[in-house]
Amino acid sequence: MPALLAIDNVTRMFGGVVAARDIAFELQRGEIVSLIGPNGAGKTTLFNIITGFVKPSSGRVHFDGADITNLKPQQVAQRGIVRTFQITNVFSGLTVGENLRAAQYLRLTGPFWRTMLGLSDARDRQEAADRDAAELLRVVGLEHLRDETARNLAYGQLRLLEIAIGLAASPKILLLDEPAAGLNSEESARLVELLRWLCRERGITLLLVEHDMSVVMSVSDRIVVMNFGQKIAEGVPEVVKQDRRVIEAYLGASLDEDDGAANGMNADA
């Protein structure tokens, strides 16, 4: 079985800066992979390349055997690669439920979905959307906040809403850019449970960029490490956290999840 996602020798220059240099790695179906590295390593750039927001200077991206390098972001999303953003893209003036409705709008109005679902009239579609929205809120644990305005949510709840918005697009791969940023340890632990559940019960493949090493080490099947635009290591958590180049990249900060110094990895936090 070919990889679900293959990054083939991708390079991206921004003026004189090499944001990504000759990066290659794969995602297998059902895996949880973390992309880590110090600030400016090129992680978000790689997310932007995978999701069509930025074109690589060279190299290709393949999804499910097809070359998606030159697709537009909307086309990439329609194929099932969906992302959340490092900076929130929730509409703060809308309620939680309305935010989900906005996320569902595109996929539910297209002729594709009408045919797929065999739904003939608007009311059936509306009911299906309501059921979906309720289920998504239940999955992320925000069902009690459906009618709350997004700007009133606690930060951790906002991050969960972002994940629900991503899920509303029925992703095959969900890319999460720093989902644990700003979460307390209890919220982080719940996030890890949610991500595992999505993978196990929904068959969603996950690629996350994350600075919180306790999250990364506990949730990842594999870790890809970048530094200054280059891939410097790849492997299972136990191996990666012992890797000399990885430890050096983090200025000697311990990568052990039991070690309080782990948070020192996020240099500007």
Ligand X SMILES: Nc1ncnc2c1ncn2[C@@H]1O[C@H](COP(=O)(O)OP(=O)(O)OP(=O)(O)O)[C@@H](O)[C@H]1O
In whole angstroms, the minimum distance from the beta carbon of 126 to Mg ion comes to 37
Burial of 191 (0-12, 13-18, 19+ CB in 10 A): buried
Binding to ligand X by residue 59, rule CB under 6 A? no
The helix-helix angle for 155-167 and 185-202 (nearest 10°) equals 10
Based on the shown chain and the rule CB under 6 A, indicate whether residue 164 belongs to the binding site for ligand X: no
Question: Residues 2, 9, 24, 39: which binds ligand X (CB under 6 A)?
Answer: 39
Q: Using CA atoms, how far apart are residues 238 and 81, in angstroms rounded to an integer? A: 28
- Measured CA to CA, the distance from residue 156 to residue 168 in angstroms comes to 19
Q: Which range of residues in 35-43, 145-153, 190-198, 243-251 is near ligand X by CB under 6 A? A: 35-43
3-state DSSP call for residue 165?
Answer: helix
The minimum distance between CB 257 and ligand X, in angstroms, equals 19
Q: Among residue numbers 14 through 33, which ones bind ligand X (CB under 6 A)?
A: 14, 17, 19
d(CA 94, CA 133): 15
What radius of gyration do the chain's Cα atoms show?
A: 19
188 lies in the binding site for ligand X (CB under 6 A): no
Measure the CA–CA gap between 150 and 135, rounded to whole angstroms. Answer: 18
Report if residue 44 touches Mg ion, rule: CB under 5 A. Answer: yes
Residue of 41, 77, 176, 253 that binds ligand X (CB under 6 A): 41
Kindly state whether residue 48 participates in binding Mg ion, applying the rule CB under 5 A: no
Round to whole Å and give the CA distance between 134 and 199.
20
Find out whether 226 and 35 touch, Cβ atoms under 8 Å.
Answer: yes
Taking the complex as a whole, the smallest distance from the CB of residue 48 to ligand X amounts, in Å, to 7
Fill in the per-residue mask, 75 to 114: x = in contact with ligand X (CB under 6 A), - = not in contact.
Answer: -----------x----------------------------
CB under 5 to 8 A by kind: which of ligand X, Mg ion, none does 19 bind? ligand X
Rounded Cα distance, 265 and 92, in Å: 30
Which of 86, 95 has the CB closer to ligand X?
86
Write out the residues near ligand X by the rule CB under 6 A: 14, 17, 19, 37, 39-45, 86
Write out the residues near Mg ion by the rule CB under 5 A: 44
